[in-house]
Structure 1
Amino acid sequence: MAERGASGRIEGDAHLFPVRVYWEDTDAGGIVYYANYLKFTERARSDLLRGLGVDQQAMLGDGEGAMFAVRDVTIEYLSPARLDDDLVVATRLVALKGATITLDQDVLRGGEALVRSRVRAAFIGLGGRPRRIPTDIRQAMEGLAARGEEEES
């Protein structure tokens, strides 16, 4: 199901996005700077959309222009990642509403959760007003959730 240019993969109900920790991601002690986890999860969300066939540039350029914007984030730091670690951001759809999505995103190292986050993003027009999530995007996201339900059966 991965589209051209997507780096991650979908397994069951999760999108798995690989991240390598580079020097620029760390503080002077070689530990990932806390705000960089937000960058890792942002990249994973963008890659998830790309993997589902959603063209974010086209959304911006359509007649009215629209995008997903983060509305709120909760994040829990459990253990630090370090320089040269190979991480995976696992993203799961928690809720899909008219104009918002809620995603759980865990940053993992060797299967161990280092960071847990929950992100709520709103689908908005360029003027900042909420818009309904388009049917094609909604169906792609519902398909992701359904894959996980099929595997649980």
Structure 2
Amino acid sequence: MNDLLQNSIQNGIHRLPVRVYYEDTDFSGVVYHANYLRFAERGRSEFLHSCGIHHSDLFSRPDPLAFTVVNMNIDFLAPAKIDDRLEVVSAYIFIKGARLHIKQAIMLDHRVLWRADVHVACITAAARPVRMPRDVSSLLEPHLTQEEHFLNFIDKP
């Protein structure tokens, strides 16, 4: 795994290195379950940054926008431990109206520890769903990938 922040998308897949620190673990020395959500959020945000989309820019528009998670299905498969060098893998699968479908995995040495199926909505400042504006979706669309491509990527040895 590259030590540098790999802030680019290759073939629809974004990879973000994350090291597990003491603050990320629980009393037993493994990553506390809620911290996987933090790692995943960083992966989704860095994916957007790679596309030229920044949360602060979206919210400072004349018609302020934000993204919010509306549904997340998670599988915890194996624990991560202090000093592990993880990789957050993110793939944006499709955009439909106000919704984005994202697949994510957290991996250690090519082994999936955690995976999630995430549905995100584009919302107004009043927290109402709104169709993603074309200027935003056009930045994401070139980086969308097929779910099968993501699954093949995380399943390869």
3-state DSSP of counterpart to 1:96 = strand
Q: What is the aligned partner in structure 1 of residue 151 from structure 2?
A: none
- Paired with 1:128 and 1:57, the residues of 2 have a C-alpha distance of 16
What value does the CA root-mean-square deviation take over the aligned residues?
1.9
Output the TM-score relative to the length of structure 1. Answer: 0.88
**Contact preservation (8 Å) 2:103, 2:147:** no
Deviation at 1:61, TM superposition (A): 1.0
3-state DSSP of counterpart to 1:35 = helix
Matched, 1:83 2:68: no
> Where does structure 1 lack aligned partners over 5 or more consecutive residues?
1-5
Q: What is the aligned partner in structure 2 of residue 92 from structure 1?
A: 91
* Identical pairs, percent: 35
Amino acid in structure 1 at the alignment position of 2:29: G
- Paired with 1:25 and 1:96, the residues of 2 have a C-alpha distance of 32
Output the TM-score relative to the length of structure 2. Answer: 0.86
- Paired with 1:124 and 1:148, the residues of 2 have a C-alpha distance of 24
List 4+ stretches of structure 1 deviating above 6 A.
Answer: none
**Contact preservation (8 Å) 1:13, 1:148:** no
Q: What is the aligned partner in structure 2 of residue 115 from structure 1?
A: 114
Aligned length: 144
**Contact preservation (8 Å) 1:89, 1:107:** yes
Deviation at 1:9, TM superposition (A): 2.6
Amino acid in structure 1 at the alignment position of 2:128: R
3-state DSSP of counterpart to 1:30 = coil
Matched, 1:143 2:132: no
**Contact preservation (8 Å) 1:8, 1:18:** no
Deviation at 1:11, TM superposition (A): 1.9
